[in-house]
């Protein structure tokens, strides 16, 4: 690794002169106070290792996170295919035993929630977009940021290693409930569960390093003029989600450590007295409910760690592609913050059937339903943003519309499940599976897809094919509904989830055709995702050049000196921000958008609001 700093490339601190875009027509009007911060001194890599592997550029780290997360996501997708193969056509795959099925369920769940969605939103989009959108040269601690990715990489490697150890990966369900998770008889109760717990602990450590970067960059490294209330909602979503992660992951870390000790040292934190084949095991006196509380104190905020960045990103995408300012920006910000705060007071709604005190259920049902208020506010605001907008029905917008519909669907079934009396009969049925896949699987995934189509031109300089994009969208959208709508019905007739097969139960007759249909839809939807991969490869080879700012967007990431942005992001001079990111279709303006860097004197004759 080279240790020289290429001093001539380090950009000199900008002067504190009063500056606007063009030589100030009205300097007072355009005044932005001078910089508080010294210019950030960046480490520019020269070798392959320092430029592409152990890179300290947040953009490269973001892409590394993205690709690693997509790899785990593909593994999760293949696992879901295997599960659907068994459920739709039992016995067709000869190797599929009950043990394998449980292992696939567990790994699918954990991979998708933690290693795919969390890493993709915060590690991928967070790293790429935060410095660009707040107008910073890079994350505030680039070295720690690099370590964060490699810690995540090791966590993924450890997780994948568990597929190859004797006994295979853990099969205790993604919630890893003790005592069964570490007792003989559960698949992967030896090395599998240990590797899972170690991998989760590594993930938490790696994430903490990244999360501190995201928070301090947003709080302490914004460019001149970028106030908190001028930040794009993407940044607000990622920021709040990171705060949640910093406070929720400790519970996961602690429960992982305690369960590791239960497994390795024979402590009984979570282990009650257990009779096995007529013999009393060494364990005794512990509390399995304690694990559930710790796990869900992490697990519920985790839902919003995935959802809040999606909310933020979709707000920006809708605003850009409807050519209209986001309706109720401040309300949107406070809704994100409010949802984040409330998410710490609802965890036990995952535990209505755990045997906890019924009054607890009453409390947690109330808090759960209160979350519907800020969430509904956001949905109304998205719709009101679209209302009378100059909507461009392109692939990005289709994904956004798909998200709104899917999220409302999943949200409404959440109101069913939030109530104790309705939840108890529906608990552990396919209704629950349909609910959470709609609300935190498909809905955030739609946002990810929209975001990929939106920001791909920034990352690569080329536009993804719209034609393939539309195929991708419609197959995914219709297919996802074909999978999850019938699943609600399966839940109502009482088909239990996590069952390997239905044996000779009476469900067999009414559920069998539906299960076959769902499985076929799942194969098609899964395969449709490869359209995106094909599209990306094709576009990188000979896609249409995007040029600068192909969507006519306002936020800073589209106003860099070069596309794709180089290390340091903004060339010689950091941008100065004069407005929020949502000045679209302002009456009287020449174009239908006014970038954040445009000084007020240039648009003095328009009806632009002061932000």
Residues that bind another protein (CB under 8 A): 1, 3, 5, 16, 32-37, 41-43, 50, 54, 56, 140-143, 208, 211-212, 215-216, 219-230, 246-247, 249-251, 253-255, 257-258, 261, 265-269, 282, 284-287, 290, 294, 297, 577
Shortest distance, position 366 Cβ to another protein, whole Å: 23
Which is closer to another protein, CB of 16 or CB of 22? 16
Per-residue DSSP letter, 180: G
Shortest distance, position 413 Cβ to another protein, whole Å: 31
Which is closer to another protein, CB of 254 or CB of 520? 254
Shortest distance, position 174 Cβ to another protein, whole Å: 20
Shortest distance, position 317 Cβ to another protein, whole Å: 25
Sign of the alpha-carbon torsion through 530, 532, 534, 536: negative
Question: Could you report how far apart the first and last alpha carbons of the chain are, in Å?
Answer: 46
Which is closer to another protein, CB of 269 or CB of 430? 269
Q: What is the DSSP code string of 333-383?
A: HHHHHHHHHHGGG-GGGG-TTTT--HHHHHHHHHHHHHHHHHHHHHHHHHH
Q: How far apart are CA 119 and CA 149, in angstroms?
A: 10
Q: What is the DSSP code string of 538-553?
A: HHHHHPEE--S-TT--
Shortest distance, position 482 Cβ to another protein, whole Å: 42
Shortest distance, position 346 Cβ to another protein, whole Å: 17
Which is closer to another protein, CB of 50 or CB of 429? 50
Kindly state the tokens that stand for 265: 């040292």
Which is closer to another protein, CB of 287 or CB of 606? 287
Which is closer to another protein, CB of 195 or CB of 218? 218
Contact 467, 535 (CB under 8 A): no
Contact 487, 430 (CB under 8 A): yes
Q: How far apart are CA 167 and CA 197, in angstroms?
A: 16
Shortest distance, position 332 Cβ to another protein, whole Å: 17
Shortest distance, position 522 Cβ to another protein, whole Å: 37
Which is closer to another protein, CB of 122 or CB of 294? 294
Q: How far apart are CA 574 and CA 327, in angstroms?
A: 29
- Which contiguous run of DSSP H or E holds residue 331? helix 329-342
Q: How far apart are CA 547 and CA 559, in angstroms?
A: 11
Query: HEC string of 99-164?
Result: HHHHHHHHHHHHHHHHHHHHHHHHHHHHHHHHHHHHCCCCCCCHHHHHHHHHHHHHHHHHHHHCCC
Query: Tokens 């009396």 identify what position?
Result: 421
Which is closer to another protein, CB of 296 or CB of 407? 296
Contact 93, 82 (CB under 8 A): yes
Angle at 212 between CA 211 and CA 213, to 5 degrees: 85
Shortest distance, position 546 Cβ to another protein, whole Å: 30
Which is closer to another protein, CB of 298 or CB of 477? 298
Per-residue DSSP letter, 429: B
Shortest distance, position 293 Cβ to another protein, whole Å: 8
- Which contiguous run of DSSP H or E holds residue 235? helix 233-264
Which is closer to another protein, CB of 266 or CB of 588? 266
Shortest distance, position 210 Cβ to another protein, whole Å: 12
Shortest distance, position 224 Cβ to another protein, whole Å: 6
Which is closer to another protein, CB of 221 or CB of 398? 221
Phi, psi (degrees; rounded to nearest 5) at 237: -65, -45
Peptide bond into 564 cis (omega under 30): yes
Angle at 108 between CA 103 and CA 110, to 5 degrees: 100
Burial class of residue 313 (count of CB atoms within 10 Å of its CB; 0-12, 13-18, 19+): buried
Q: Which long-range contacts (CB under 8 A, 24 or more apart) does 42-50 make?
A: 42/10, 42/137, 42/138, 42/142, 42/567, 42/568, 43/5, 43/142, 43/143, 44/5, 44/6, 44/9, 44/567, 45/2, 46/2, 46/4, 46/6, 47/1, 47/2, 49/1, 50/1, 50/2
Which is closer to another protein, CB of 33 or CB of 605? 33
Which is closer to another protein, CB of 16 or CB of 562? 16
Which is closer to another protein, CB of 258 or CB of 417? 258
Shortest distance, position 599 Cβ to another protein, whole Å: 15
Kindly state the tokens that stand for 122: 């915060």
Which is closer to another protein, CB of 229 or CB of 353? 229
Query: Tokens 């964060």 identify what position?
Result: 148
Distance (Å) of CA 607 to CA 411, 473, 577: 38, 37, 18
Kindly state the tokens that stand for 24: 């100030």
Shortest distance, position 219 Cβ to another protein, whole Å: 4
Greatest extent of the chain over all pairs of C-alpha atoms, in Å: 89
Sign of the alpha-carbon torsion through 473, 479, 483, 489: positive
Shortest distance, position 390 Cβ to another protein, whole Å: 30
């Amino acid at each position: 690794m080279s240790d020289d700093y290429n001093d001539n490339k380090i950009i000199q601190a900008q002067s504190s002169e009063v500056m606007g875009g063009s030589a100030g027509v009205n300097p007072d009007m355009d005044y932005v106070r001078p910089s508080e911060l010294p210019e950030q001194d960046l480490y520019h890599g020269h070798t392959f290792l320092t430029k592409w592997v152990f890179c300290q550029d947040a953009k490269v780290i973001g892409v590394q996170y993205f690709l690693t997360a997509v790899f785990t996501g593909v593994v999760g997708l293949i696992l879901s295919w295997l599960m659907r193969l068994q459920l739709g056509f039992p016995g067709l795959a000869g190797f599929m035993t009950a043990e394998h099925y449980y292992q696939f369920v567990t790994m699918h769940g954990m991979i998708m929630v933690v290693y795919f969605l969390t890493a993709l939103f915060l590690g991928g989009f967070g790293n790429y977009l935060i410095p660009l959108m707040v107008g910073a040269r890079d994350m505030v601690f680039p070295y720690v940021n690099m370590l964060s990715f490699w810690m995540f990489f090791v966590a993924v490697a450890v997780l994948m290693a568990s597929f190859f150890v004797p006994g295979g990966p853990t099969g205790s369900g993604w919630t890893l409930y003790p005592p069964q998770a570490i007792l003989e008889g559960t698949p992967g109760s030896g090395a599998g569960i240990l590797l899972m717990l170690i991998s989760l602990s590594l993930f938490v450590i790696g994430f903490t390093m990244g999360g501190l970067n995201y928070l301090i960059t947003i709080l302490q490294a914004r460019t001149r003029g970028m106030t908190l209330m001028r930040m794009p909602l993407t940044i607000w979503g990622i920021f709040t989600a990171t705060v949640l992660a910093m406070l929720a992951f400790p519970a996961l870390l602690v429960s992982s450590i305690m369960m590791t000790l239960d497994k390795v040292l024979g402590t009984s934190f979570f282990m009650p007295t257990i009779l096995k084949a007529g013999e009393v095991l060494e364990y005794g006196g512990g509390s399995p409910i304690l694990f559930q509380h710790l796990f869900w104190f992490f697990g519920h905020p985790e839902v919003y760690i995935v959802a809040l960045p999606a909310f933020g990103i979709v707000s920006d995408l809708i605003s850009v592609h409807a050519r209209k300012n986001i309706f109720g920006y401040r309300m949107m910000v406070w809704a994100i913050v409010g949802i984040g705060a409330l998410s710490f007071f609802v965890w036990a709604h995952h535990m209505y059937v755990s045997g906890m005190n019924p009054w607890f259920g009453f409390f947690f049902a109330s808090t759960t339903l209160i979350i519907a208020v800020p969430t509904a506010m956001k949905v109304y605001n998205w719709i009101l943003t679209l209302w009378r907008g100059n909507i461009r029905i392109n692939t990005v917008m289709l994904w956004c519309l798909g998200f709104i519909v899917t999220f409302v669907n999943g949200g409404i079934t959440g109101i069913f499940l939030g109530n104790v009396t309705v939840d108890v009969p529906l608990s552990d049925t396919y209704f629950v599976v349909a609910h959470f896949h709609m609300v935190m699987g498909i809905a955030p995934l739609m946002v990810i897809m929209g975001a990929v189509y939106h920001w791909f031109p920034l990352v690569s300089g080329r536009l993804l094919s719209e034609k393939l994009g539309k195929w991708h969208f419609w197959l995914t959208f219709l297919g996802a509904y074909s999978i999850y709508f019938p699943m609600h019905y399966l839940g109502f007739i009482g088909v239990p989830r996590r069952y390997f097969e239905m044996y000779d139960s009476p469900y067999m007759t009414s559920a069998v055709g539906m299960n076959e249909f769902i499985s076929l839809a799942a194969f098609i939807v899964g395969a449709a995702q490869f359209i995106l991969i094909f599209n990306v490869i094709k576009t990188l080879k000979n896609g249409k050049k995007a040029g600068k700012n192909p969507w006519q967007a306002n936020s800073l990431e589209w106003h860099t000196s070069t596309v794709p942005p180089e290390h340091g992001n903004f060339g010689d001079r950091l941008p100065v921000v004069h407005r929020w990111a949502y000045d679209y279709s302002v009456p009287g303006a020449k174009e239908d958008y006014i970038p954040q860097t445009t000084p007020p004197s240039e648009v003095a004759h328009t009806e632009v609001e002061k932000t």
